Amino acid sequence: MGRLPHRAGDTTGPASPGLTIRRATAEDAPAIGSLYLASRGNALPGLHKAHTDDEVRSWIARVLVPRDDVWIAERDGTMLGFIALHDGWVKQLYLAPGCYRQGIGTALLAIAKHHSPNELRLFCFQRNSRARAFCETSGFAAVRFSDGFDNEEREPDIEYVWAGA
């Protein structure tokens, strides 16, 4: 597959100097949980919480990190975002509040595209206009809109597909 883009020690370029990307470990689960909760609260205020914060943190530690291919973006030891990949799906992609439009999401998505060069899928809540714009400018196309019946939050969402390079 060639050289992995954005390996630890590499930068994402002028937009994100000093950014490193690395695989998550079990020790990262608490910080991933904190970032996840802060990001969702910031991006989607008023979103129905299907689980308590403690349940989310437990799920991240017991299920997400062991099951999925989770990558972290950090600068100077501070976690700025993460992406979780599973069977051609971007299952989670979250950035710390205030870290948008700095190339961090693009760097994390490059990891996903590297590992699934033919196709990637993801879901995004319809009201998350910032995430929708990011998906669409990153080459994803909306293929299905739903009323939210199939997700725990019961929030209308969109399935996106990236058809590969």
- Could you tell me the residue ranges of all domains in the chain? 20-116
Encode the chain (165 residues) as per-residue pLDDT tens digits: 333 344 443 444 445 678 999 999 999 999 999 999 998 887 777 777 888 999 999 999 999 999 999 999 999 999 999 999 999 999 999 999 988 888 999 999 999 999 999 999 999 888 888 899 999 999 999 999 988 788 777 878 899 999 987
This prediction has a pTM of 0.86
Q: Is 142 exposed, middle or buried (0-12, 13-18, 19+ CB in 10 A)?
A: middle
Was domain 20-116 assigned CATH 3.60.15.10?
no
Q: Residue 137 in 3-state DSSP?
A: helix
Query: What's the pLDDT at 16?
Result: 66
* Paired tokens of 114: 């590297």
Q: Is 48 exposed, middle or buried (0-12, 13-18, 19+ CB in 10 A)?
A: exposed
